């Protein structure tokens, strides 16, 4: 049996895939090592969301090829599909490409690359990532995947090519997985997928129905719900808020707005208006005291004018998000946005600096105000 070095990148769901891959490999008789020099095979569990990450992974591939010529290489995650054209240049004997829908085949793929075969497993298929062996690094927080793929077709997103259309996992299986982790002593469950907000639409129910059933499970634990596209949240926001009143649901939401301009949102194919997003945030803050609202913003989309950018600045000033993930636009292969004329790098950088500065100011003010609130409460209690 072989020694495996596993290198993970990307989102919560992808790291959970990494834990599953490790579990499958150990179950197959292989061993996981923490030093690439001790390994027979390097497995890179890749991410294709941002250019900076993709470039880092390609650099890692080059480094392994140049410095560890005797080691076999398996590339899994989103890049085998999203970056398939570029990865063709790396294909030879002893290398495997395994898409995110085929991770249960990785033990067999490793056996083949050890026999010096070339392996390409990038076909789309339904692979439910529940009830599988898993090596969790964290003993207190467990991740449970809800689905593969999504229902959106955002113009900037390359992940769609890798993940495909929505395939929700049956809620009964998810409930079983949650109960399994609670029985093992986990106190927090992270629910994750490409887009939690569209979970269940293909099965005739929604994330609200799932959360209601999880809330009925006995025991002391908390659930953290991952990213949800506002396009879908708006359809059941009132029902979702009611579920969030449960002490078992962490008071945290991640709704990526991406832009404060309706023009840009339309061109991004986000399928909601900024007024609808504002209403979602307003309702959550009015009904769930202390809610933490996280969002994502892309600066420098190809058609973003100064006016569009200013509208995003105005939105951030108005809503004062607790968490903002700011990304500089970078063209991804085969996306609609890649066909547009890109803005000068300097403009994108300037907008990123301005947005980051604003966010830091808002975050500092929020922290100060919450410290003051705690001081006031202490005085009242005393």
Give the per-residue pLDDT at 373: 63
Q: What tens digit of pLDDT does each residue of 237-261 get?
A: 999 999 999 999 999 999 999 999 9
In this structure, the number of other CB atoms found within 10 A of the CB of residue 67 comes to 10
pLDDT at 375 over 70: no
Q: What tens digit of pLDDT does each residue of 196-225 get?
A: 999 999 999 999 999 999 999 999 999 999
Q: What tens digit of pLDDT does each residue of 73-128 get?
A: 999 999 999 998 889 888 776 689 999 999 999 999 999 999 998 899 998 889 99
Token duo for residue 353: 């600096």
Domain boundaries, the chain: 3-121
| Residue 77 near residue 100, CB atoms below 8 Å | yes
DSSP string, 296-341: EEEE--TT--HHHHHHHHHHHHHH--SEEEEEE----TT-GGGGSP
pLDDT at 371 over 80: no
Query: In sequence order, what are the beta bridge partners of 177?
Result: none
Strand, helix or coil for residue 380? helix
Give the per-residue pLDDT at 380: 46
Arch. (CATH architecture) of 3-121: 3-Layer(aba) Sandwich (3.40)
- Residue 308, Cα to own-chain centre: how many angstroms? 26
How many angstroms separate the CA atoms of 184 and 361, rounded?
42
How many angstroms separate the CA atoms of 27 and 75, rounded?
20
| Residue 280 near residue 272, CB atoms below 8 Å | no
Give the per-residue pLDDT at 382: 40
How many angstroms separate the CA atoms of 61 and 66, rounded?
9
Q: Encode 136-198 in three state secondary structure.
A: CCCCCEEEEECEECECCCCCCCCHHHHHCECEECCHHHHHHHHHHHHHCCCCEEEEECCCHHH
Q: Is 219 left (phi over 0), alpha (psi -120 to 50) or beta?
A: left
Give the per-residue pLDDT at 374: 56
């Amino acid at each position: 049996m072989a020694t495996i070095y596993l290198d993970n990148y990307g989102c919560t769901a992808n790291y959970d895939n990494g834990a599953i891959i490790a579990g499958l490999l150990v179950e197959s008789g292989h061993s996981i090592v923490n030093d690439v020099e001790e390994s027979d095979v390097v497995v890179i569990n890749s991410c294709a969301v941002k250019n900076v990450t993709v470039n880092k992974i390609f650099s890692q591939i080059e480094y392994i090829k140049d410095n560890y010529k005797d080691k076999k290489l398996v590339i899994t995650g989103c890049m085998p599909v999203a970056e398939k054209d570029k990865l063709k240049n790396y294909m030879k004997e002893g290398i495997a490409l395994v898409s995110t829908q085929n991770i249960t085949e990785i033990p067999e793929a490793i056996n083949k690359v050890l026999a010096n075969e070339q392996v390409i497993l990038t076909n789309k298929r339904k692979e439910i990532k529940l009830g599988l062996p898993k090596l969790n690094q964290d003993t207190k927080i467990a991740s449970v995947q809800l689905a593969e793929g999504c229902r959106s077709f955002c113009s900037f997103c390359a992940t769609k090519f890798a993940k495909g259309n929505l395939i929700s996992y049956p809620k009964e299986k998810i409930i079983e997985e949650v109960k399994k982790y609670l029985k093992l002593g986990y106190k927090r469950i992270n629910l994750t997928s490409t887009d939690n907000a569209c979970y269940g639409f293909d099965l005739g129910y929604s994330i609200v129905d799932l959360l209601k059933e999880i809330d009925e499970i006995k025991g002391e634990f908390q659930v953290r719900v991952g990213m949800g596209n506002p396009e879908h949240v708006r359809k059941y926001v009132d029902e979702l808020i009611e579920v969030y009143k449960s002490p078992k649901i962490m008071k945290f939401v991640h709704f990526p707005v991406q832009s404060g301009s309706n023009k840009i949102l339309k061109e991004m194919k986000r399928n909601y208006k900024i007024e609808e997003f504002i209403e979602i945030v307003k309702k959550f803050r009015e009904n769930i005291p202390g809610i933490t609202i996280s969002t994502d913003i892309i600066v420098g989309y190809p058609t973003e004018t100064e006016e569009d950018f200013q509208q995003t600045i105005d939105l951030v000033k108005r809503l004062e998000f607790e968490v903002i993930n700011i990304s500089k636009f970078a063209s991804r292969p085969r996306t609609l946005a890649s066909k547009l004329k890109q803005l000068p790098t300097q403009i994108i950088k300037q907008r990123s600096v301005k947005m980051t500065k604003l966010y830091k100011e808002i975050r500092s003010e929020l922290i100060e105000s919450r410290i003051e609130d705690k001081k006031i409460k202490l005085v009242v209690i005393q």
